[in-house]
Structure 1
Amino acid sequence: MKISIITAVYNRERTIAAALASLHAQTHPDIEHIIIDGGSTDGTLPILEAAARRPQTRLISEPDHGIYDALNKGLVRATGEVIGILHSDDSFADRDVLADVARTFEAVPTDAVYGDLDYVSDDDSARIIRHWRSGAYTPARLRRGWMPPHPALFVRKPVIDRLGGYDTSLRIAADYDAILRWFIGARIQPAYLPRVLVRMRVGGVSNRNLARIVQKSREDLTAMRRNKVGGLTTLAMKNLSKLPQFLAR
């Protein structure tokens, strides 16, 4: 099974090497890596160019209109049976992540596999700030604001080809909108892999400041309403569901 991993990056000299190392360490034998660089002006590009010399790695470096535009460029170019995302600040939790994902796809008739995610300190990736235990999927949970962690979600390419990628009019919540569209439109019964797949550094765009939090809530509500999974009550449940993630594991 070929797995396509898309990385969107812009000026991430400090973190991109660790992200790439976690991908290059994977034991799964068939990985396509598509790197979409937004025209980095720091030391990111030389690191990416070195990575692009590896087999099945493609680098596109050009201006874009934000992360979702960059991810859409990757989706168009992906040729794998399954597609996943590796953000430039993130890393796979261990070397067997993609092998376990592939085994799950092969064992279970499903169009999506997802797992858990750890938020880690920006300056110490060994220190866990927040643990996102996804739990098993049900349609009722989706309507209570549940979603799988976007970086820990892997989806079969035909689903994305049929239902589309990320809506770039949403600047923060296009991933949530896409997940709702894929799960509802394809009537996906995803398989839950109950283990941490990705470590994400804290400080992402969606929770950087109060204005961003407000914008994300508005976009979440737009996604809920357009995909007919609820409204303000669902939004409130979605936000409240994050609180247990800060408790000790």
Structure 2
Amino acid sequence: MHEVVGLIFSKDRAMQLDATLRSFSLHCRDMGNIDFKVIWTYSNSINEQQYQELASTYPSIEFISELNFESQVLASIAGYAYVLFLVDDNIFVRDFSMENVIESLRTNQDALGFSLRLGINTNSCHLLRLDQQLPTFMITENEFLKYDWTSAQYDFAYPLEVSSSVYRVNDIMAAVHHSFADPTMLEVQLNRNKKIFYQQKKFLLCNQYSYTFCNFINRVHTIVKNQAGETFYYSTEQLSEMFIQGHRINVEEYNSFIPNACHQVVELKFKKITDLSRASKNKTEQIFTADSRNFQGMIPKVSVIMPVYNAEDYLSQAIESILGQTFTDFEFIIIDDGSTDNSLNIIKTYNDSRIILIRNETNLKLIASLNKGMNLANGKYIARMDADDISLPERLARQVEFMDQHPNVAVCGTWVELFGECEQSFWHFPDNPDVAKCVLLFGCCIAHPSAMLRRTILETGLCYSDLYPHAEDYGFWVQIAKKFDITSLPQVLLKYRISGNQKSAKDAQQVIDGAAKIQLEQINALGIEPTEQECLLHWTISQKQFIPNVSFTHAVLAWLTKLKEANSFLHYYPEPAFSEILRMYWSSVCINLVNAFK
């Protein structure tokens, strides 16, 4: 008998329970120090058989068929010092040590528990469909986060829950005063009695980033109806049938995923077990075949997406620059967004099997067309292209080679050459992921039409947002950089046309408004609520549009210092890159001040 018992609740979800167990085994470095028990119940004999199969697959775990829920819960935790509560839609996403979690509870007696689902990333409460403010965190000796749950908001103010947290068994017993019939009612009762901990155990512990999240894609409880997925919905019947056919959730696909909420709906990724009998005997010897989507030779490596709207002047050059790539394993998704000029006819003149022409009946605008294109993409990578630019012949080849060699990188742009109605010049973007993420606080760091991204990141729910019209790329990179590395190849591989017909020239104010909003959201992520004057100062610094004087310089120094101090607490941006970027902007202001006195 160990010090910790892991108690998992499951109903009619053998498929999801298997994913919980395998993802926990994948990421918990000391799972052998936990006594696991599963209290399960079922609606039909098929589900019953599947739980029995899991019991055979995991012989070290005690499977308890539910008869009297309350009695079985109390008996299961009796004699243990700590209990880890889990439910069957948990998916673990990063490595951790249960011993470190328990040690943090030992050394922080004023903490009620340790949440495996909370972190600085959980800035949204999906159950309430509201953004939630991060509490003020302290850092413990174990480098975990600690906060006062009695003054927190939404999920952070919900200290007693049974889906993904660790508690002292004595505290749980003290909060159980009445009977309970299922996990939901147990949780309701615990929270009704949380007031008994207001004084002596007003803190909660968590990691910087969530260890797990609940992927609530279906509903099984009927006493209290829990929310279920809307974007991706899988009925228990569907998953049960897939379980019979040998499919299992591919938990490796979620490694390092950073959810923005404790409960988040993400698409399930499956792999098929090739030897069911063998897998049922020894889960460590499971053999998987490739995802059914990847039929060898039929799926292109790259999907190039190019929205088109009244682009007849330069469209042929753009199309031919893609068709002329040295890398040829791609599909070319061209989305005509209701053009009223000759664009559609120009596209139809090209007889190339790689071209997939999509015609919007009405003008959906760029953001909707981009998201439509990404949803249609089949390639491992998605490359962006604009209808008036030119991709140099080696562009796709160089980017594919880089992405293949750097699996940690989610987005790769390139340097670009400006041409058209301007003097020849070049845009150079950061080729270091840490620097790129830091630069985003001040502006966009990837040339949109040069970007190539991994299609798998879209399966986390990421897409272009219509909250930032004409700055959708900037907002997209910021969202991606919260979870993945982004960078640019230090090579000019795209010619970016400057013309008076571009939307960015006509809608400059919307670009400014969108970019300023994105900057503000990142500043807020540092725990700063800037004044209007500070927002204007930050924008001015980022655009390098200022007339330097001594008072302005002092204000800049104070603001950059405030950013640095906030980051030193939350570690939102990587160091030393963040300090280097702040130093760069500070140097620019100082140099301009010195030049003003010459």
Aligned sequence identity (%): 24
| Contact 2:444 2:474 (C-alpha < 8 Å) held by counterparts | no
Deviations 1:115-166 (A, max 9, x none): 11122114xxxx7543111133323322233511111221101112314221
Shift of 1:45: 1.1
- In the alignment, the residues of structure 2 paired with residue 59 and residue 226 of structure 1 have an alpha-carbon distance, to the nearest angstrom, of 37
- In the alignment, the residues of structure 2 paired with residue 191 and residue 164 of structure 1 have an alpha-carbon distance, to the nearest angstrom, of 18
Shift of 1:240: 2.6
Shift of 1:39: 2.0
* 1:43-122 correspondence to structure 2 within 5 Å: 43-51=342-350, 53-62=351-360, 63-92=362-391, 94-109=392-407, 110-122=409-421
- 1:167 counterpart = 2:465: yes
1:7 pairs, out of 294, 302, 306, with 306
- 1:192 counterpart = 2:496: no
* 1:202-221 correspondence to structure 2 within 5 Å: 202-203=498-499, 204-208=502-506, 212-221=507-516
C-alpha change, 1:95 and 1:171, in structure 2 (3 Å) is: same
- In the alignment, the residues of structure 1 paired with residue 469 and residue 348 of structure 2 have an alpha-carbon distance, to the nearest angstrom, of 28
Stretch deviating more after TM superposition (146-155 or 19-28): 146-155
Shift of 1:48: 0.9
In structure 2, what is the equivalent of residue 142 of structure 1?
Answer: 440
Pick 1 or 2: higher relative contact order, CA cutoff 8 A, min separation 6: 1
- In the alignment, the residues of structure 2 paired with residue 181 and residue 88 of structure 1 have an alpha-carbon distance, to the nearest angstrom, of 25
Shift of 1:201: 1.2
1:32 pairs, out of 320, 324, 331, with 331
1:235 pairs, out of 534, 539, 545, with 539
- 1:155 counterpart = 2:453: yes
- In the alignment, the residues of structure 2 paired with residue 78 and residue 57 of structure 1 have an alpha-carbon distance, to the nearest angstrom, of 12
C-alpha change, 1:221 and 1:95, in structure 2 (3 Å) is: same
Helix, strand or coil for the counterpart of 1:102? Answer: helix
- In the alignment, the residues of structure 2 paired with residue 173 and residue 26 of structure 1 have an alpha-carbon distance, to the nearest angstrom, of 28
| Contact 2:441 2:522 (C-alpha < 8 Å) held by counterparts | no
| Contact 1:163 1:182 (C-alpha < 8 Å) held by counterparts | no
Letter in 1 for 2:543: N
- In the alignment, the residues of structure 1 paired with residue 386 and residue 374 of structure 2 have an alpha-carbon distance, to the nearest angstrom, of 14
- In the alignment, the residues of structure 2 paired with residue 175 and residue 146 of structure 1 have an alpha-carbon distance, to the nearest angstrom, of 8
| Contact 1:39 1:61 (C-alpha < 8 Å) held by counterparts | yes
In structure 2, what is the equivalent of residue 247 of structure 1?
Answer: none
Normalization by structure 2: what TM-score? 0.37
Q: Report the RMSD for the aligned CA atoms in angstroms.
A: 2.3
2:319 pairs, out of 20, 25, 45, with 20
C-alpha change, 1:177 and 1:60, in structure 2 (3 Å) is: same
Letter in 2 for 1:111: A
C-alpha change, 1:32 and 1:84, in structure 2 (3 Å) is: same
- In the alignment, the residues of structure 1 paired with residue 349 and residue 518 of structure 2 have an alpha-carbon distance, to the nearest angstrom, of 38
C-alpha change, 1:143 and 1:213, in structure 2 (3 Å) is: same
Normalization by structure 1: what TM-score? 0.84
Unaligned runs of 5+ in 2: 1-299, 527-534, 546-587, 589-598
| Contact 1:104 1:191 (C-alpha < 8 Å) held by counterparts | no
In structure 2, what is the equivalent of residue 182 of structure 1?
Answer: 480
Stretch deviating more after TM superposition (196-205 or 98-107): 196-205
| Contact 2:325 2:393 (C-alpha < 8 Å) held by counterparts | yes
Deviations 1:213-247 (A, max 9, x none): 22211111112233446854443343239xx9xxx
- In the alignment, the residues of structure 2 paired with residue 223 and residue 163 of structure 1 have an alpha-carbon distance, to the nearest angstrom, of 19
Shift of 1:57: 1.7
C-alpha change, 1:146 and 1:6, in structure 2 (3 Å) is: closer
Deviations 1:56-87 (A, max 9, x none): 32111122321111111111101111112111
- In the alignment, the residues of structure 2 paired with residue 8 and residue 101 of structure 1 have an alpha-carbon distance, to the nearest angstrom, of 21
Letter in 2 for 1:165: C
C-alpha change, 1:117 and 1:19, in structure 2 (3 Å) is: same
Helix, strand or coil for the counterpart of 1:100? Answer: helix
- In the alignment, the residues of structure 2 paired with residue 35 and residue 65 of structure 1 have an alpha-carbon distance, to the nearest angstrom, of 14
| Contact 1:9 1:38 (C-alpha < 8 Å) held by counterparts | yes
Count of residue pairs brought into register by the alignment: 231
In structure 1, what is the equivalent of residue 235 of structure 2?
Answer: none
| Contact 2:443 2:515 (C-alpha < 8 Å) held by counterparts | no
- In the alignment, the residues of structure 2 paired with residue 200 and residue 12 of structure 1 have an alpha-carbon distance, to the nearest angstrom, of 15
Letter in 2 for 1:72: N
- In the alignment, the residues of structure 2 paired with residue 200 and residue 73 of structure 1 have an alpha-carbon distance, to the nearest angstrom, of 24
Helix, strand or coil for the counterpart of 1:33? Answer: strand
- In the alignment, the residues of structure 2 paired with residue 168 and residue 90 of structure 1 have an alpha-carbon distance, to the nearest angstrom, of 23
Helix, strand or coil for the counterpart of 1:64? Answer: coil
- In the alignment, the residues of structure 1 paired with residue 536 and residue 429 of structure 2 have an alpha-carbon distance, to the nearest angstrom, of 22
In structure 2, what is the equivalent of residue 226 of structure 1?
Answer: 521
